[in-house]
């Protein structure tokens, strides 16, 4: 459905408060779109991201319930990011080789860490993959520039980690979600310090890659590699959970 059609449906609802929410938070869409552009190829157009984000904002305004505890800005930010991610995935511009290599890197990190009982070092992962260190770093760069790869993809459903949940009759659903978040938090806490710092600056402080590079004293491309490696390391450590083992640690 086009943005224009969604706008038409939206205005027909006559919900003045929702309309005010959209007007007030419209700048948030551009802010998020610009932030996400930092990890996307040049072929992706900002206008396309903003249009998708506006759809997410409209849906957030229509579905927001203040009694859920989260502020509208927090809720809308999640819906906006989710809508943009969905739009990017629909584009299918990512070569399959990028996905395949990302899975190989993740599996290699896990294999080294399982064998050594400690954090896998770059050279060890490269050796596990039969690559030079330079080739391994290139794989990390491809994983970052070739797709929207982030913590958003690390939960058990493949959706955003904080999202609107429909009412469920299964009392184990909330337990499973809470348990996964605890496992994810523990896995993040056990990351190498530099990877943990990059994730914190990126997701909590909302710095872009260039700004993080200035903080760490490294290039923007190196920050991108560290970010990818952190996400792939987490994916490897959470592989058992993602395969359906709720007792993964």
Q: Which residues contact 247 (CB under 8 A, 6 or more apart)?
A: none
Chain length of the chain: 249
DSSP conformation letters of 81-110:
HHHHHHHHHHH--S-HHHHHHHHHHHHHHH
| Token pair listed for 179 | 């348990």
Least confident window among 111-115, 172-176, 181-185, 198-202: 172-176
Average pLDDT over residues 232-246: 69
Least confident window among 169-173, 221-225, 239-243: 169-173
Q: What pLDDT, in 10s, does the model give residues 41-97? A: 666 788 888 999 999 999 888 888 777 667 888 888 888 988 888 887 776 556 677
- % of the chain residues with pLDDT over 90: 23
- DSSP 8-state assignment for residue 151: G
Residue 150, Cα to own-chain centre: how many angstroms? 3
Task: State residue 187's pLDDT score.
Answer: 82
Instruction: Compute the distance between CA of residue 16 and CA of residue 32 in angstroms, rounded to an integer.
Output: 25
pLDDT at residue 10 is higher than 50: no
Instruction: Compute the distance between CA of residue 167 and CA of residue 163 in angstroms, rounded to an integer.
Output: 12
Other beta carbons less than 10 A from residue 122's beta carbon: 14
Least confident window among 136-150, 155-169, 208-222: 155-169
Task: State residue 100's pLDDT score.
Answer: 84
Instruction: Compute the distance between CA of residue 15 and CA of residue 144 in angstroms, rounded to an integer.
Output: 40
For residue 67, CA distances in Å to 18, 165, 173 come to: 16, 14, 20
pLDDT at residue 155 is higher than 70: no
For residue 89, CA distances in Å to 92, 185, 230 come to: 6, 26, 22
Q: Where does the pLDDT of residue 157 fall: very low under 50, low under 70, confident under 90, or very high at 90 and above?
A: very low
Q: Which residues contact 80 (CB under 8 A, 6 or more apart)?
A: 28, 29, 32, 53, 56, 57, 60
More confident residue, 101 or 133: 133
Task: State residue 21's pLDDT score.
Answer: 84
Instruction: Compute the distance between CA of residue 159 and CA of residue 62 in angstroms, rounded to an integer.
Output: 20
Nearest 5°: CA angle at 177, between 165 and 22? 35
In terms of average pLDDT, the best of 63-72, 125-134, 188-197, 216-225 is: 125-134
For residue 49, CA distances in Å to 43, 84, 142, 157, 162 come to: 12, 6, 21, 23, 20
């Amino acid at each position: 459905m086009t943005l224009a059609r969604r706008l038409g449906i939206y205005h027909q609802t006559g919900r003045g408060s929702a309309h005010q929410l959209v007007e007030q938070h419209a700048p948030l869409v551009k802010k998020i779109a610009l932030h996400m552009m930092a990890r996307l190829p040049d072929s992706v157009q900002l206008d396309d991201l903003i249009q998708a984000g506006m759809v997410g904002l409209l849906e957030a305004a229509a579905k927001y319930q203040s009694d859920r505890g989260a502020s509208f800005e927090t809720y809308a930010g999640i819906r906006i990011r989710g809508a943009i991610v969905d739009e990017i995935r629909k584009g299918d511009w990512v070569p399959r080789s990028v996905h395949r290599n990302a899975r190989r890197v993740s599996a290699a990190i896990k294999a080294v860490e399982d064998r050594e009982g400690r954090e896998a070092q770059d050279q060890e992962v490269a050796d596990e993959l039969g690559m030079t260190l330079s080739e391994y770093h290139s794989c990390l760069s491809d994983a970052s520039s070739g797709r929207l790869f982030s913590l958003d993809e690390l939960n058990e459903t493949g959706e955003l980690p904080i999202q609107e949940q429909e009412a469920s009759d299964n009392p184990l659903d909330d337990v499973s979600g809470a348990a996964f978040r605890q496992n994810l938090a523990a896995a993040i806490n056990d990351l190498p310090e530099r990877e943990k710092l990059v994730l914190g600056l990126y997701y909590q402080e909302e710095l872009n890659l260039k700004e993080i590079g200035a903080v760490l004293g490294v290039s923007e491309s190196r920050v991108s590699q560290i970010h990818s490696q952190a996400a792939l390391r987490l994916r490897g450590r959470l592989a058992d959970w993602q395969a359906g083992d709720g007792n993964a640690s």
